[in-house]
Structure 1
């Protein structure tokens, strides 16, 4: 993993995310309590709104209740005195007509015996209900009945027939029927007092609509979609939300008017009044969610205000210091909490200490480099002085052997001087360009060692090979000895030319390769002592090199191969 990847952590490792998780866990119990309490409050509010809506529906249906209960009461009263008058149908009819006149809001009263032949009625008309639909079931049930008749007994339009059974010594003798005109029921009540009430319907236990304040057509349109009103006759008062037949959202309230017989259905606008309160009750998780979000926002803002931005500021200062050693104090430092100010101050102290130590180290390295260059310079000068002394000795020597030995020694001293000169002139971290040294050594050896009688063709192919002094010195001395030996033994080959070639390379695997090839003649050099070969072998051992020598009657080839060493500290280097 790179440093850049380390400096760009995953989002889930950020302080904000972890703070959000910890805050969420911290307020989780409170949130659960809030959800429970909110649910309880919401349920109570829902229940209160439903009870209020049921109360309003029952209040709105009060006039329908009064009319229907008056009809039942009138039928019960008539049934009490009617048996004594049945023997005289005319008198009976007259009496019922008088009762109807006093009642005012009804348009028919009649008595139907179990035979189905009505002879006593407020109109005095005799009617036969023996084969009327539902009459046989009513006789068998012996219970009060409420039903709608499109054309009432007196032919004055649709009515609601309320039938009350009449018993004599526990035996059913017939029914007293009271007719309530729809026009009376539809005109009851004043819906302007509650604009949310769109319609009020009444229906019987069979789900038949008895009345509607807005008329029969509107009643059908306001019914809940896909619902049979008979479903609501088996339960107590209730409210529910559903779409109407026309697809409009409505709230319905069902209350009983006459227990088990007549019910009122209030159709309420979903967006107004108490019904609107029911539809607008918010989800139980909304307030806990808002509490969580607000708490989280406050916590994250506090973390940002008190911690995150200051940490980023300190981090930015550290990054700038790491990149270019600059220190810029943020103006927000005085706003930091004391703990972060301590971190900031500690960083500044550390940064100034690092700058001071680096400055001292740089000065120490500079002084060391100056001293080291001076040492190499003085060594080079001393070696050149020795070379000059040797040169004086050569000029004063009387014997050729002495001159030759001194000259060989002078060459070695000059090779060392060249190496030290390159060391104090180089700025490559202590590395020496051995390729350039080899080139200079070969050129000097050819210049010094060539006889006027010999015309030597020299081919030097060397690369820039950078080595540390531990290998540069023995490699340079090895090249000097090899060149000196080559100049000593070089001769004309069968082709008739004197030649010498030198190559020095370094491959991608840091393998260094020095190859020297020179032509040979059949003559043997009289001054051969073997000292050069011994020195070459000794220098190769210092390099850790392998030497391969191949010789025939035409040429001599020496190949030296070694690995370029890396810099290694010795115990005394630190």
Structure 2
């Protein structure tokens, strides 16, 4: 949560726009800086390559001097050999003198055309005929330096430097061979604290065909240090070059190739730490570009947050609190805002004060309305009770049976209306009525009005839990108050089957309202018994069915049982204004 709050300003639209504008404004400078840094990097890389080559040459200076001395000695002896080869003693003496002047050489000798060395330093003789070493030296015409992993004479790895002997008539006359032991070529180097990078990880010599000749480390280690992406034969074609690559152990290293002769090449292998400055500079153009971008983004974001977004967040928090219903901390508290945002905050404070004042007025109006509604309901209930009392007095005073029956019906309807009004009064402000409770109240009122001690009858209410809007619930209750007395009046003294009131849903929106009772209630329900109350009741039933958009039917279940059934579509609860309008239509 804290990270989200911290990163929120960086994700605002204003910060992004300011950052974009700053980047676009500085983009030419950024590109120029990147190009200049790239050129600097190229120049530095070139200097670094030359430095790596120089370091390799300096590190291999003893080997280079020794190989060159061997080559010089070999070519010198090959030049004077035609004059001294006639005398074997003179030949051996010259070979001994040459070996004595260069104690690092293990062998200096002459190999005849038949492969037999009869003139060698220290009086050594050896038959090279048929050996791979002689074949390789002869194949190159005595010009290629050859590596022997096991010297035939010395028994140790040597580098053989041959030179062809030419007779006065220009025909080949054998080879002069100078052998340099490998352990002499690569003496141990001790790294100093002052110049830790002056000693390479390894120095390798190889020929133009990519054949490894000598190494400053053991051969298995040398094979591990070789670059993965390039063969030695490829490096021989590249001339003087330095590059970065990964060895076969997965370590990134610096490599430098130095041609010693046209056939002999030196490969210097350096630890990657020696080129760490080069690697750092390699990413510097992108690093500078990225740093400038980050600086622009940070500056724009902080500026946007300082000048705009923090004030907008404060206003947004106040608005959210006000919208959620809080009236305690809704006012904006801005510290040193810009003039434009200060005007916005002042307008917001004025708006909230106006809304609060209007809300207070509305609450007063609502309380007054509720009070008036309660007073209206109270007075309406009192008026209905007063009308019912007056009707009751007339019923007691009237002797005419016809007038008394009419007054009884009027009294019953007034009491039913009072019951329905009481149900509405209890649920004032509710958009739907509980039909189970309302029907039970109406049934109790009808049973109280029409029950007789001498008659045994009862009502079974099979009413599902159902809520209807007042514009349907009121007609339903009044319809029940008209139908149920008709079944009550049709009871004979001996009948005991109860009246069954049924209300249920048959599908998602379709409902069925039915009452089962004595078949004798049919004339009163359809208004054919000849009395005015029954005709008025039948007319009211049709009006109620029309208000409900339903279908009414009288079904004979048996000779003694009749069903009043009405099917209608249950509506969804409506708003209070619609309820009041619907109640007005029902009252009309």
Decide: shared fold, TM above 0.5: yes
Question: Deviation at 1:427?
Answer: 3.1
Aligned residues: 538
Instruction: Report SS of the residue matched to 2:262.
Output: coil
Tell me: CA distance 1:327–1:317, structure 2 relative to 1, closer, same or farther (3 Å).
Answer: farther
The superposition leaves residues 51-98 of structure 1 with CA deviations (integer Å, 9 ceiling, x where unpaired) of 322212212333433344345445555666676677777778778877
The 8 Å contact of residues 166 and 174 in structure 1, kept in 2 or not, is answered as yes
Between the aligned partners of 1:562 and 1:366, the Cα distance in structure 2 is 40
| Equivalent residue, structure 1, for 2:4 | none
| Equivalent residue, structure 2, for 1:442 | 446
The superposition leaves residues 95-127 of structure 1 with CA deviations (integer Å, 9 ceiling, x where unpaired) of 88778877887788777776888898887x697
Between the aligned partners of 2:423 and 2:136, the Cα distance in structure 1 is 132
Tell me: CA distance 1:550–1:532, structure 2 relative to 1, closer, same or farther (3 Å).
Answer: farther
Tell me: CA distance 1:114–1:404, structure 2 relative to 1, closer, same or farther (3 Å).
Answer: closer
| Equivalent residue, structure 2, for 1:559 | 564
The superposition leaves residues 303-349 of structure 1 with CA deviations (integer Å, 9 ceiling, x where unpaired) of 99568887776666555555545453488754878777777666665
| Equivalent residue, structure 1, for 2:371 | 370
Question: Deviation at 1:147?
Answer: 5.0
Greater shift in the superposed pair: 97-106 or 541-550: 97-106
| Equivalent residue, structure 2, for 1:10 | none
Query: 2:170 aligned with 1:171, yes or no?
Result: yes
What is the CA RMSD across the aligned residues, in angstroms?
6.1
The superposition leaves residues 505-543 of structure 1 with CA deviations (integer Å, 9 ceiling, x where unpaired) of 43235746363735869xx9xxx7421221111111221
The 8 Å contact of residues 503 and 514 in structure 2, kept in 1 or not, is answered as no
| Equivalent residue, structure 2, for 1:7 | none
Between the aligned partners of 1:98 and 1:467, the Cα distance in structure 2 is 129
Greater shift in the superposed pair: 401-410 or 279-288: 279-288
Between the aligned partners of 1:480 and 1:111, the Cα distance in structure 2 is 142
The 8 Å contact of residues 458 and 500 in structure 1, kept in 2 or not, is answered as yes
Greater shift in the superposed pair: 563-572 or 529-538: 563-572
| Equivalent residue, structure 1, for 2:262 | 260
Tell me: CA distance 1:368–1:319, structure 2 relative to 1, closer, same or farther (3 Å).
Answer: same
Question: Deviation at 1:373?
Answer: 3.9
The superposition leaves residues 268-303 of structure 1 with CA deviations (integer Å, 9 ceiling, x where unpaired) of 4x25545x6678887799848965995798499759
Query: 2:239 aligned with 1:236, yes or no?
Result: yes
Between the aligned partners of 1:260 and 1:74, the Cα distance in structure 2 is 18
Larger gyration radius, structure 1 or structure 2: 1
Among 502, 506, 521, the residue aligned to 2:503:
506
Tell me: CA distance 1:58–1:422, structure 2 relative to 1, closer, same or farther (3 Å).
Answer: closer
The superposition leaves residues 337-365 of structure 1 with CA deviations (integer Å, 9 ceiling, x where unpaired) of 87777776666655555554444444334
Instruction: Give the alignment of 1:80-91 within 5 angstroms.
Output: none
Question: Deviation at 1:144?
Answer: 3.7
| Equivalent residue, structure 2, for 1:542 | 543
| Equivalent residue, structure 2, for 1:427 | 428
Query: 2:459 aligned with 1:457, yes or no?
Result: no
TM-score by length of 2: 0.64
Tell me: CA distance 1:354–1:179, structure 2 relative to 1, closer, same or farther (3 Å).
Answer: same
Tell me: CA distance 1:550–1:14, structure 2 relative to 1, closer, same or farther (3 Å).
Answer: farther
| Equivalent residue, structure 2, for 1:52 | 51
Between the aligned partners of 1:553 and 1:186, the Cα distance in structure 2 is 129
The 8 Å contact of residues 512 and 561 in structure 1, kept in 2 or not, is answered as yes
Tell me: CA distance 1:430–1:393, structure 2 relative to 1, closer, same or farther (3 Å).
Answer: farther
| Equivalent residue, structure 2, for 1:328 | 329
Greater shift in the superposed pair: 346-355 or 89-98: 89-98
Question: Deviation at 1:457?
Answer: 1.8
The superposition leaves residues 370-425 of structure 1 with CA deviations (integer Å, 9 ceiling, x where unpaired) of 33443344444445444555555556556554555445444444554555555556
The 8 Å contact of residues 114 and 129 in structure 2, kept in 1 or not, is answered as no
Question: Deviation at 1:166?
Answer: 5.3
Question: Deviation at 1:156?
Answer: 12
Instruction: Give the alignment of 1:75-224 within 5 angstroms.
Output: 131=129, 142-144=141-143, 146=145, 162-165=161-164, 171-172=170-171, 174=173, 177=176, 179=178, 182=181, 185-186=184-185, 192=191, 196-198=199-201, 200=203, 202=205, 218-224=217-223
The 8 Å contact of residues 162 and 179 in structure 1, kept in 2 or not, is answered as yes
Tell me: CA distance 1:164–1:205, structure 2 relative to 1, closer, same or farther (3 Å).
Answer: same
Unaligned ranges ≥5, structure 2: 1-7
Tell me: CA distance 1:15–1:442, structure 2 relative to 1, closer, same or farther (3 Å).
Answer: farther
Between the aligned partners of 2:252 and 2:459, the Cα distance in structure 1 is 103
Between the aligned partners of 1:534 and 1:500, the Cα distance in structure 2 is 27
Tell me: CA distance 1:340–1:247, structure 2 relative to 1, closer, same or farther (3 Å).
Answer: closer
Unaligned ranges ≥5, structure 1: 1-12
